[in-house]
Amino acid sequence: FQRVLNIRDTGFGSGPLAAIWSDACSRHAVWEAIDRRTTYATTGARILLRVHVNDVEAGGETTVQGAPEVAIRVNACALIQRVDLIRNDRCIRSWQPDKLDVELAFTDTYPVREGAYYVRLRQDDGEYAWSTPVWVTCPGGGIEADPDQPAWNADEPFDLSTARPNGAEAYE
């Protein structure tokens, strides 16, 4: 079993969180994990996030013949509102699980020759997590992304009435 280390750059509960998947809780093992890039980040929540492409862990590099298989596992601190799978600059799949724990799978049937797959998730409480990418070479993939896939940062409609009441109202 691997261990996850939660490392903060400030005091407990006061900022972003960097997490490292390490084989052991020792200085040597932690530095090896950082070198392998088996890391992810959150806005502060202690979310557990695992991402693999064809059994290669986030942070790794692989060459895939055929369609890349993505596996995602999340253990969240609040209900998971949304999980986005992003390849390069395109959101290629989204889920709205509304659960604390999920295991998701996706087969990319329209791969590109060179791609970086990563996951972004949002909890109901407003906390986020981002995985480190898996860099994938797919010799049989296309040169460009599917134009029907939205950009990772495409505007989403947002109904402000659902965000009330909140602490920002005093400053409006």
Lowest mean per-residue pLDDT among 15-24, 87-96, 121-130:
15-24
- Picking from 77, 25, 15, 22, the residue whose alpha carbon sits closest to that of residue 46 is 77
Q: What is the pLDDT of residue 169?
A: 66
Q: Has residue 164 got a pLDDT over 80?
A: no
List, in order, residues 6 or more apart from 101 with CB less than 8 Å away: 74, 75, 76
Q: Which residue, among 52, 46, 90, 42, has the nearest Cα to 73 in the 3D structure? A: 52
Residue 74 near residue 47, CB atoms below 8 Å? yes
Tens-place pLDDT, residues 69-82: 999 999 999 999 99
Cα-based torsion angle of the residue sequence 53, 92, 119, 94 in order, rounded to the nearest 10 degrees: -120
Percent of the chain with pLDDT over 70: 80
pTM for this entry: 0.80
Which residue type, as a one-letter code, is found at position 146?
A: D
152 — pLDDT class (breaks 50, 70, 90) = confident
The per-residue pLDDT for range 1-11, each reduced to its tens digit, is 455 655 544 44
Give yes or no for residue 95 having a pLDDT over 90: yes
Comparing CA positions, the residue from 80, 104, 103 lying closest to residue 92 is: 104
Which residues are CB-neighbours of 11 under 8 A, at least 6 positions away? none
Q: Which residues neighbour 160 within 8 Å (Cβ) at sequence distance 6 or greater?
A: none
